[in-house]
Amino acid sequence: MARVRKIAFEEHYTAVGFKDYTKSFSQHIDPAVFADLAARLEDFDEVRLREMDDAGIDYVILSQTGPGVQAEPDAAVALERARRNNDFLAQQVARHPDRYGGFAVLPMHDPVTAARELERCVGQYGFKGSLVNGHTNGRYYDDPAYDAFWECMQALDVPMYLHPVDPYIVPHAYQGHPELVGASWGWGVETASHALRLLFGGVFDRFPGIKLILGHMGEGLPFQRWRFDSRFAVYSHGITLQRPPSEYIGSNIVITTSGVCSPHALLGAIAEMGEDAVMFSVDYPYESTRIAARFIEETPMDERVREKICHGNARRLFKL
């Protein structure tokens, strides 16, 4: 297997005070399996680094596992836990600065508070952006009140990784089928819908410098670009955008391969979005580092493009 150096950035950990938040999905995982996941989430020195070395992953940007403080109903508690978590992560990054970077946990309950915490983490700790676990108690970030946050994020020139979460209200179509609610289907639909709210809500027109990262091969959005243009031209409902919807997907919205190790899907995403908009990631520890590395190294493609996807695009995005 050809060895290509890699950067990955949907790579999770957890810290004290956050396990209660994960019960929403951990309760559905076999206890023995989750015990192994929990041990990996808490490890920064042994298994994680060894798997990175074996897979040729030079550098990862670490993020708190979901749903994090987005599930916290109390805004003051969310801020306190976010700050404590970010301080903890900074300590771990400082111990391995050549291998780890950090994504800030943000209390998105209040846009200005979230902006100030992002400023602190980028300025004080050198964090590479943020990872936000979807909506905050049913509030989505196309709400005009969040323009204060987006303005700050654009000025800092760091991206947000929009990570999946359960829908605020479970759709009727999922009733009787709990397997549809989470990672198998519902998370992708929820996250793609949130990203589209930002797109059609004009957030990228008001703040054209924003970079939003979607995992899991873009949560399906790359493969609907043509249809977004076709149907929006007919059913705009009075909304106006500066560009066709498809043009935001690949410029403002970029994606990772995390959790979708399909050569056909990867090649289709590159064809739709361009070779500069697709990046490698694993989704550690929920997916296999070994399988992800083999997939990205064995998918037939030009080696120049492979190097972009494995590390070049990430180096540019995060100014590494």
Give me the active site residues, please.
Answer: 283
Q: How far apart are CA 305 and CA 292, in angstroms?
A: 17
Query: Identity (one letter) of the amino acid at 134?
Result: G
Q: At what angle do helices 47-55 and 31-41 cross, to 10 degrees?
A: 80
Show the tokens assigned to 261.
Answer: 């190790």
Report the SS3 class of residue 170.
coil
Q: Starting at the earlier edge strand, list the strands of the sheet with 6-13.
A: 6-13, 57-64, 100-102
Q: How far apart are CA 275 and CA 277, in angstroms?
A: 6
The torsion angles phi and psi of 18, rounded to 5 degrees, stand at: -110, -10
CB 6 within 8 A of CB 53: no
**Signed CA dihedral, 154, 159, 100, 312: sign only:** negative
CB 217 within 8 A of CB 269: yes
Q: Which residue has the tokens 């403080």?
A: 69
CB 311 within 8 A of CB 94: no
What is the Rg, in whole angstroms, of the alpha carbon atoms belonging to the chain? 19
